[in-house]
């Protein structure tokens, strides 16, 4: 705790614009040749981060004899990105396939959202939930073959001491964002999101400048960025990667080599989890993106519809009788 924020507004604007898929796409459709060059770039990129669907067998060939554990981000992964954060619903078909996956593998949702909010979208009691970028972790409220009674309830809240501060900053930002049409502040309990998807480009710099000046009074908080959102959170050494490690530990797989964690996410904050998997040399990180991006993930999927297809293929593959599945015998 206590690292000073060093934030330069111009850099904010650049990084915010870079993290905006709509800007990237809009630029790419300006002309036919630009569109073609966007496709070329994507094809080059996807060779480096191959499709998790086209490489499905290869991914799971590497998981011989070990337990798969699923980690799923929410926005942009299970639900498409929409203008109104309160209406980022997942489809019933997606819910069904996540439910099926959780029957076979321990499954966790790891989100920047407040835990209750993401639960209200997903509505599956058999899952683990790590809300507020992993700072609020709770076990399943429904027992499955993967859960043990003692793992129910809240498991970990490393940022509780920051609650009054986060609430104070929320109230300040709520008041100050009124001057910026299209902006909104979302209270994610242990973190805040300042949304600017619907803010006119002309006033973006002043919005970022306003947030920066509010944060100057709170050196204990830091800013990260997502898709057209500024995220404000405690400067503690905790993120989605740490949450992934914590959950593996809780499930009894902390030091084990016979586990294959699969993490699927679309945003900058998911990179911490991809990096953990790379550093452990375990499992597969899958980035959801239809534009080239630097990432610690190993594979890619273009959009939530492909995530659904991937999950449903995983469930089907798990259900296949061993005789029809060349890798199945070796799997848990």
Ligand X SMILES: O=P(O)(O)OC[C@H]1O[C@H](O[C@H]2O[C@H](CO)[C@@H](O)[C@H](O)[C@H]2O)[C@H](O)[C@@H](O)[C@@H]1O
Q: Rule CB under 6 A: which residues touch ligand X?
A: 73-76, 81-83, 85, 88, 111-113, 186, 188, 193, 195, 197, 226-229, 231, 267, 269
The one catalytic residue among 39, 40, 73, 116: 73
Known active-site residue 100: no
Q: How far is the CB of 288 from ligand X (least distance, A)?
A: 10
Question: Taking a C-beta distance cutoff of 8 angstroms, is the pair 166, 189 a contact?
Answer: yes
Under a CB-based contact definition with an 8 Å cutoff, are residues 207 and 224 in contact? Answer: no
Q: Which is nearer to ligand X, 111 or 300 (CB)?
A: 111
Between 63 and 188, CB nearer to ligand X: 188
Minimum separation from the CB atom of position 196 to ligand X (A): 8
Nearer to ligand X, 60 or 196 (CB): 196
Question: Bridge partners of 223?
Answer: 232
Instruction: Give the residue closest to ligand X by C-beta.
Output: 112
Distance CA 55, CA 147 (A): 30
**Which candidate, 151, 164, 129, 150, places its Cα nearest to that of 240?**
129
> Measured from the CB of residue 72, what is the shortest distance to ligand X in angstroms?
9
CB of 73 to ligand X, least distance (A): 5
| CA gap 314, 44 in Å, rounded | 27
3-state secondary structure 146-194: CCCHHHCCEEECCCHHHHHHHHHHHHHHHHHHHHCCCCEEEECCCCEEE
| Nearer to ligand X (CB atom), residue 113 or residue 318 | 113
Closest CA to 318 of 307, 306, 330: 330
Catalytic sites, residue numbers: 73
């Amino acid at each position: 705790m206590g690292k000073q924020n060093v934030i330069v507004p111009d850099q904010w604007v650049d990084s915010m614009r870079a993290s905006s898929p709509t800007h990237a796409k809009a630029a790419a459709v300006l002309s036919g040749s630009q569109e073609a060059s966007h496709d070329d770039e994507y094809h080059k990129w996807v060779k480096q981060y191959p499709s998790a669907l086209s490489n499905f067998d290869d991914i799971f060939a590497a998981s011989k004899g070990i337990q798969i554990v699923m980690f799923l981000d929410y926005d942009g992964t299970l639900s498409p990105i929409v203008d109104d954060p309160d209406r980022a619903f997942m489809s019933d078909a997606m819910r069904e396939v996540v439910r099926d996956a959780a029957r076979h593998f321990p499954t966790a949702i790891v989100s920047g959202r407040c835990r209750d909010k993401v639960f209200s979208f997903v509505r599956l009691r058999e899952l683990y939930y790590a809300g507020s970028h992993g700072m609020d972790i709770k076990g399943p409220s429904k027992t499955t073959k993967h859960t043990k009674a003692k793992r129910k309830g809240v498991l970990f809240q490393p940022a509780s001491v920051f609650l009054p501060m986060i609430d104070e900053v929320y109230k300040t930002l709520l008041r100050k964002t009124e001057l910026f049409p299209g902006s909104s502040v979302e209270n994610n309990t242990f973190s805040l999101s300042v949304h600017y998807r619907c803010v006119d480009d002309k006033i973006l710099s002043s919005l970022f400048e306003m947030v920066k000046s509010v944060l100057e009074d709170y050196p204990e908080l830091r800013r990260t960025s997502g898709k057209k959102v500024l995220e404000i959170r405690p400067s503690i050494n905790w993120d989605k990667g740490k949450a992934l490690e914590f959950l593996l530990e809780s499930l009894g797989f902390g030091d084990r080599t016979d586990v294959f964690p699969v993490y699927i996410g679309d945003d900058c904050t998911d990179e911490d989890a991809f990096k953990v998997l790379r550093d452990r040399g375990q499992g597969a990180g899958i980035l959801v993106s239809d534009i080239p991006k630097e990432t610690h993930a190993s594979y890619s999927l273009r959009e939530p519809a492909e995530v659904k297809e991937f999950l449903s293929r995983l469930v089907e593959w798990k259900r296949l009788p061993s005789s029809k599945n060349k890798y199945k015998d070796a799997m848990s």
